[in-house]
Amino acid sequence: MSRAPVPGLRRLRFDASPCNFPRAAVPMLAPVDRRQLSLLRRDGVTLDTTRTQVFLRGRYGLHEAFRRAGLGPGKRLFVPSYHCPTMADPGLRLGADIVLYPLKDDLTVDVQALQRLLQAEPQSGDCLLLTHFFGIAQPVAIIKELQALCAAHQLRLIEDCSHCLALGLSSLPEGIGSHGDFAVSSPYKFIPVPEMGLLWSKHGGTLDASDTPPATGRQGWRQAATLMRGWAAQPGQAPAWKAPNTKSATSAAPAREWEEDCVGISSHYLPSEEGRYRLPISNFILERTPLKLVTERRRENFQRWLSLCKGLPQLQPLHATLPDACVPYMFPVLLDAPSTHFAVLKDAGLPIWRWDDELASPCDTASRYRLGLLHLPCHQGLSESQWQWMERTLHACLNGAGLSHAGAVA
């Protein structure tokens, strides 16, 4: 059954399935590693479920936050122009109008441009989604300006901490998770839990129970199976290195790229998974994951990527330094020639994510970053052999094996 297009919204799509890229040889997220779990000690976080609600993913926590904030038909949700589809999906699910606001090159909010959007059609009852990209907090000065804008225009501020090691009110990074009316995080992006998203309120009080009690159902079995597979595996192993075949990548069937009407939520959002959940396996792992190790390893790996990029002029780090209090989610890096290099890197099995499916906007930053900004892993599970494999493969893909220094196919 076809759905009617959402007025004023177009979706930019990218389909790499014709290329038959291999599976990434190194995991993007931290795997379960029994060597890093303190089974006899609780070095992690125990959630206070009276002040923090638990969901399967942060996207479903956002849905609940928007619902509690009064978002619905006739209301607007202001979303960053550079975004994952699941940042807008909860608003689309609630029938709100999506407005994309511009970002600067460092992914901080363009406050003046946002102010012009708000002044063009003033109304009350809207929501603004503020995102801390890749774990780096939006500057305090910008947050204060946004809070003033929200007060002046009667906006509810929802803080998106899904790229941050924010584990509820008892464990918040500096400058993150306490500014919005509600805040949401995604612990599974940092801790090797099978699934988990969190929601808490600005005031830190008890969250009123939602309409239905937390569910478990098949999620308990699914989580247990995921844990057992990870427990039996041997994380950290790197594949045997072989020189990338750049000719096969450039001669493969091309990826498909197009623009289409937005007809509602993306395929990444499953209404059947909305609502709160009891996740005992995830809680067990969360309580026993040493956060000091997570922080140290991720910071070390981010710095290692910075050093590696100095020898690869085709890669430009989005951030030249790492703030002292930051626990990075990924290493964001701009690829000089994505139309040339992306297929080569993917065909070599390098672990790469990017947000190439997003809602169209006139923002120049979003336009350039959609295909050009790569997300590279810097999680605590990366082993030395995996690092050596990634470094050697990157150099071979970008500096040799049929590619010139400028990145064109020889």
Written as one string, the DSSP assignment of 74-129 is T-EEEEESS--HHHHHHHHHTTPEEEEE-B-TTS-B-HHHHHHHHHHS--SS-EEE
**pLDDT value at residue 209:** 61
Mean pLDDT of 66-84: 96
**Mean pLDDT calculated for residue range 361-389:** 97
Segment among 60-69, 180-189, 247-256 with least mean pLDDT: 247-256
Mean pLDDT on 1-24: 87
Quote the pLDDT of residue 250: 66
Q: Is the pLDDT of residue 36 over 90?
A: no
pLDDT at residue number 7? 87
pLDDT score, position 332: 98
pLDDT value for 410: 24
Of the candidate ranges 46-55, 80-89, 214-223, 282-291, the one whose mean pLDDT is the lowest: 214-223
Q: How many residues in the chain?
A: 410
The 10 Å CB-count burial string (b at 16+, else e) for 245-279 is ebeebeebeebeeeeeebebbbeebeeebbbbbeb
- Following CA atoms 81, 86, 91, 94 in sequence, which dihedral angle do they give, to the nearest 10 degrees? 160
Average pLDDT along the chain: 89
Helices 291-309 and 384-399: angle between axes, nearest 10 degrees: 20
> Would the pLDDT of 167 be above 70?
yes
The answer to whether the beta carbons of residues 33 and 277 sit under 8 Å apart is no
At a CB cut-off of 8 Å and minimum separation 6, what does 212 contact? 275, 276
The answer to whether 257 and 14 are in contact (CB under 8 A) is: yes
Confidence of residue 59 (pLDDT cuts 50, 70, 90): very high
pLDDT, tens only, 217-237: 666 777 777 777 766 666 778
State the pLDDT at residue 252: 64
User: Chain-centre distance of CA 175, in angstroms?
Assistant: 18
Q: What is the pTM of this model?
A: 0.92
210: confidence class by pLDDT, cuts 50, 70, 90: low
CB 240: neighbour CB atoms within 10 A? 6
Parallel, antiparallel, or unpaired for β 182-185 and 197-201?
antiparallel
Q: Output the pLDDT for position 206.
A: 65
DSSP helix/strand/coil, 3 = coil
- The structure tokens listed for 232 are 């039996």
Report residue 157 as tokens.
């501020």
What single letter denotes the amino acid at residue 137? Answer: A
In this prediction, residue 325 carries a pLDDT of 86
> What domains lie within the chain, and their CATH numbers?
38-201 (3.40.640.10)
- Write the pLDDT tens digit of every residue in 307-351: 999 989 999 999 999 999 899 999 999 999 998 899 999 999 999
Cα-to-chain-centroid distance, residue 248: 30
- Output the CA–CA distances (angstroms, integers) from residue 187 to 38, 47, 152, 182, 227, in the order listed: 18, 12, 33, 16, 15
* 210-214, 295-299, 362-366, 403-407: least confidently modelled range: 403-407
Which pLDDT does position 324 carry in this prediction? 92
Q: Are residues 319 and 332 in contact, defined by beta-carbon separation less than 8 angstroms?
A: yes
The two structure tokens encoding residue 28: 């993007």
222-227: long-range contacts (C-beta < 8 A, 24 or more apart)? 222/194, 223/194, 223/195, 223/279, 223/280, 223/281, 223/282, 224/281, 226/32, 226/194, 226/281, 227/32, 227/194, 227/281, 227/285
Query: 3-class SS at 389?
Result: helix
Strands 76-80 and 97-101: parallel
Considering only 8-12, 154-158, 377-381, 398-402, which range has the smallest mean pLDDT?
398-402
Q: In terms of pLDDT, which residue wins out, 187 or 3?
A: 187
